């Protein structure tokens, strides 16, 4: 362990103690699991976990959430919420993430306040600032804190410490809400989210680890898998199985992205002008 990483962990602990009581937005992913673990160790009952239970949460993430709660004994709340009832979310414009985070974190902040907790923390790390993430603006506006980012922790740091803390998530592939799989402009419905979830389950059962199934106009599934796993599709039996299963799930066509998995690939079609318009619309809506 390097001195730099020791310093980052110390900074994180000091930040948490400074809050005294804090609610952690817990998704079951690598970042929020590590943050919750450290908060629980440092603050005890002063740490509360909040999980939004909605159609956008993947089945695997919900299982990871409930499993961690059962094993850790941490104080927690499951908060039922359906973002699909909000038209500005379900219509799926490029500012969808901003709308979603506003809904979710406003709800969590209200629940925390009822329990006498002023601070709500998100598992944002230092690397997250590099991607197009309009949702981060919503967190700033609501007053959500990001201890991992403030401590300077990168994803590599978090995976390193997660392994030392014996957390099962230390090598868990990155996850995100199911809505992030739907092409911008395509209406988000529970039926589509269920189809995406079922399709990704097919791939996981075939032992793919890092993957996404993106939903495109025309009821098209675009598969992304880790670059090193693409060669698995050279097996015609695998291709036939996937094609058949996806057809049963309800997709009209199934395609494979030859570039492989990369985070936020649906943002690749957004030019800088569109991104700037989103930023301006967010600024003007407040």
**Are 107 and 69 found together in one domain?**
yes
**Are 65 and 165 found together in one domain?**
yes
**Are 11 and 139 found together in one domain?**
yes
**Are 137 and 243 found together in one domain?**
no
Q: Specify whether the CB–CB gap between 74 and 81 falls below 8 A.
A: no
**Sequence-ordered list of residues with C-beta below 8 angstroms from that of 277, at least 6 positions apart, any chain:** none
Pick the more confident residue, 280 or 138: 138
d(CA 123, CA 23): 11
**Are 24 and 159 found together in one domain?**
yes
**Are 11 and 104 found together in one domain?**
yes
Q: What is the pLDDT of residues 72-113, one digit of tens each?
A: 999 999 999 999 999 999 999 999 999 999 999 999 999 999
**Are 153 and 12 found together in one domain?**
yes
Q: Is residue 26 part of a domain?
A: yes
Q: What is the pLDDT of residues 110-137, one digit of tens each?
A: 999 999 999 999 999 999 877 667 788 9
**Are 227 and 189 found together in one domain?**
yes
The set of catalytic residues is: 177
d(CA 97, CA 281): 13
Q: Is residue 285 part of a domain?
A: no
Reduced to 3 states (helix: H, G, I; strand: E, B; else coil), residue 286 is coil
**Token pair recorded at residue 236:** 């015609």
Q: Is residue 270 part of a domain?
A: no
Range of the domain at 207: 178-262
d(CA 272, CA 270): 7
* Residue 273 pLDDT exceeds 60: no
**Are 44 and 159 found together in one domain?**
yes
Nearest in space to 69 (alpha carbons), one of 96, 122, 32, 107: 32
Q: CATH no. for residue 87? A: 3.40.50.620
- Find the radius of gyration of the CA atoms of the chain: 19
Compute the Cα dihedral for 179, 181, 184, 189 and give only its sign: negative
Q: Specify whether the CB–CB gap between 282 and 134 falls below 8 A.
A: yes
Q: Is 283 exposed, middle or buried (0-12, 13-18, 19+ CB in 10 A)?
A: exposed
Q: Specify whether the CB–CB gap between 216 and 222 falls below 8 A.
A: yes
Pick the more confident residue, 279 or 254: 254
Number of Cβ within a 10 Å radius of residue 276: 10
Pick the more confident residue, 206 or 174: 206
Q: Find where tokens 């793919």 sit.
A: 208
**Token pair recorded at residue 34:** 């590590």
Q: CATH no. for residue 185? A: 3.30.70
Question: What's the structural domain count of the chain?
Answer: 2
Residue 245: CA atoms inside 13 Å, Cβ hemisphere, count? 18
Nearest in space to 162 (alpha carbons), one of 28, 45, 16, 15: 28
Beta-bridge partner residues of 182: 215
């Amino acid at each position: 362990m390097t001195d730099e990483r020791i310093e980052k962990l110390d900074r994180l602990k000091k930040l948490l103690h400074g809050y005294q009581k804090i609610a952690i937005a817990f998704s079951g992913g690598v970042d929020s699991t590590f943050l919750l673990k450290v908060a629980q160790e440092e603050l005890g009952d002063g740490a509360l976990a909040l999980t939004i239970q909605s159609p956008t949460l993947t089945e695997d993430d919900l299982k990871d959430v409930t499993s961690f709660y059962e094993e850790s004994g941490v104080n927690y709340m499951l908060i039922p919420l359906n973002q699909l009832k909000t038209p500005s979310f379900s219509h799926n414009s490029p500012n969808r993430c901003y709308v979603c985070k506003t809904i979710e974190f406003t709800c969590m902040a209200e629940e925390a306040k009822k329990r006498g907790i002023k601070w709500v923390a998100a598992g944002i790390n230092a690397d997250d600032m590099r991607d197009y993430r309009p949702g981060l603006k919503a967190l700033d506006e609501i007053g959500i804190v990001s201890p991992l980012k403030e401590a300077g922790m990168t994803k590599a740091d978090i995976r390193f410490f997660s392994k030392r803390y014996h957390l099962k998530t230390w090598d868990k592939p990155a996850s995100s809400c199911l809505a992030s799989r739907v092409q911008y402009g395509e209406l988000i419905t529970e039926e589509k989210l269920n189809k995406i979830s079922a399709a990704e389950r097919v791939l996981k059962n075939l032992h793919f680890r890092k993957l996404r199934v993106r939903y495109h106009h025309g009821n098209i599934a675009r598969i992304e898998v880790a670059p090193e796993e693409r060669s698995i599709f050279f097996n015609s039996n695998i291709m036939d199985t996937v094609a058949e299963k996806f057809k049963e799930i309800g997709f009209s066509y199934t395609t494979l992205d030859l570039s492989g998995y990369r985070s936020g690939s649906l943002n690749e079609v957004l030019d800088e002008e569109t991104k700037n318009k989103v930023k301006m619309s967010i600024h003007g809506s407040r």
